[in-house]
Amino acid sequence: MITQLVDAMVSLTALMEEESERLVRTPYIPELGEIANAKLRLAGRIEAEVARLKRENPEDWLETLDADSRETLSDASQALRDASIVNSRILSRQIELSSEIMAAIAAEAQRLTGSRSTTYSACGGLSGIDAPAPISVNARL
């Protein structure tokens, strides 16, 4: 009854653990987009399975599970939660580092190009505006 749900949860857990391990070793993974798409597909599959179980058992489908199935689902849920927490922290840190690097690059480019402009305000005063420096990023590292 819940085999497909548990399989999807175990697969998503394994994928997140693999992604986390690889991101800890190196910040750049060429297949990161493919991993993200696979995670989305598995999450969609989990959602579809839960919806199917709710449709087939309009009352609480969890109550209809036997003890072994309930324990299997509980273990898979806990493993998925733990992997999700670790994966989320690592990805958040990677995004934060990327933002910091881009801000540093933009600040240095702005310093080098001197792209600061001055304009008159409504009251006649001058105010400085830091125009963003043009930055080009080569997607192939």
Q: Within a domain: residue 139?
A: no
Say which residues have a Cβ less than 8 Å from residue 20's Cβ, sequence separation at least 6. Answer: 83, 86, 87, 90
Which domain does 58 fall in, by range? 3-130
- pTM here is 0.73
- CATH number, domain of 77, equals 1.20.58
Q: Give the integer Cα–Cα distance in Å for 107 and 49.
A: 48
Query: DSSP string covering 34-46, please?
Result: HHHHHHHHHHHHH
- Which tokens hold the place of 77? 């849920």
Average pLDDT over residues 70-79: 96
Q: Are 135 and 109 in contact (CB under 8 A)?
A: yes
9-67: per-residue pLDDT in tens? 999 999 999 999 999 998 778 898 899 999 999 999 999 999 999 998 888 888 888 99
What pLDDT score does 79 carry? 97
Q: Within a domain: residue 116?
A: yes
**pLDDT tier, 90 (very low <50, low <70, confident <90, very high otherwise):** very high
Q: Within a domain: residue 138?
A: no
Q: Within a domain: residue 137?
A: no
What pLDDT score does 128 carry? 58
Domain count along the chain: 1
- Which tokens hold the place of 136? 């080009």
